[in-house]
Each structure stands twice: as structure tokens, then as C-alpha cells.
Structure 1
């Protein structure tokens, strides 16, 4: 029989049902990186690059490409605990597949704002102490 320590169980526990107010849930990020601070920094750096690439692609893409890019961003955002950004990406994905151009534009604006918030949080987390 395999016995798990409390630390191991905490590391794989589910994210909170109601995420905090910060753009990135630091408890979730720590859980996903098993508390490894250097891995957190690496993951945040990669996410920031991906986020910048995808938001630029989303703004100029056809609806199917925008939806696929929003879906990718949504999954990555959930992985690091950027739940508000993930929700904005989900709304854009839905708007892009619905064919409603006005709703898509509004969703892109909302996603861009969520990306700005997450990007500012990441910059703060990555800055030397």
C-alpha cells in the first residue's frame, strides 16, 4: 500500500472553489510546481511569453483561430492559477465560436485587460526582491 505524506497530498489537492482576488492564485501555482520556486519562475516566464503571443494572434485571427488560441490560453492560465484570465479566455472562445462580432470584440477587450493584470503580477513576482 502506498502512503502519501500530508505535503504530497497538499501538493496535488484541487484548486480552491473560489479563487482569490489576485490575478494569479499563488497557492495554486505553488501546488502545481510542488513548491519549487525556481520552477515557479520558469513556468511564469513561459506563460508570460505564451500569453503575449496568443493575445496578439487572437486580436487579428479568424474566429476559429481566435477560439483555438483562446482555448490554449485558457488551459495554460488555469495551470498557473490565473483564473480570471482563464474565465476571460473562455468567454472569448465562446464568443468567437458564436459568430457574434460585437461580443467577440468585447471579449477581446476583457481578455486583454485580464492579460495586463496577469502580466503585471508576473512582472512583480519575477522582479528581484
Structure 2
């Protein structure tokens, strides 16, 4: 049975994709992390999408210590899948848990990532 192409290479133009922080998910990074296993990519992205929804909802209600813990968890997961803008914002929240402006910046990034995941995993 032939192996499915990874997301980075199954999409038009994917064969020439370079790592990018401009896309919500860096598909080249994700492909490297999953060794090109499309089923694994889809599973990981699905789990990540569910995780970020829960974390973002809890972040705004959390105290500073909990916010640091949640942001650290989000940062690690986001970096693992290649959601580098989310990871960078999570790191900023981890460093400045009282900065509510960062939380408001995180929401549209999360929406972009979730929309992107939905589009590429159809």
C-alpha cells in the first residue's frame, strides 16, 4: 500500500515549500517532526486544535501562576507542530502573565491556526 504524501507535499506547490513563519502552521516543520506520515500529521493537528481551544478559554480566567503554566504548555505544543506565532505569543504571556493585551493578541492567532488546520485536514 503506498504511503500518503505528507501535508507539506500533498498541497499544490508543497514540493517547493520552505519553512515559514508566515503560515499559521509551518508544514515543512510538521512534516519533519512526523517523518512525513500524513495520518500522524492529521492526528497531531486535531489534538492540537482541541488543546488550544481549552487552553485559550482557561487563560483569560486563570491567575498569574496558572497562566504561566498554561502558556508554557501552549508554547511547547505550538512549537512541536510548527505554530510558531502562537508559540511566540505564549512565550510572551509566560514572561508577562499580567499583560492582558497579549491575551487579546493570542485569540486571532488561535483562530487562524484552527481555521488553517480545518482547511488542510478536510
Deviation track 1:38-94 (CA, whole Å, cap 9, x = no partner) reads 000000000001100100110100011011101000000000000000001111111
Structure 1: stretches of 5+ with no match in the other structure = 1-15
- Aligned mates of 2:91, 2:70 — CA distance in 1: 10
Partner of 1:62: 63
What TM-score does the superposition give when structure 2 sets the normalisation length? 0.82
Count of equivalent residues: 105
Runs ≥4 in structure 1, deviation > 3 angstroms? none
**Higher radius of gyration, 1 or 2:** 1
What TM-score does the superposition give when structure 1 sets the normalisation length? 0.77
Please provide the CA RMSD for this pair: 1.3
Partner of 2:31: 30
Structure 2: stretches of 5+ with no match in the other structure = 1-17
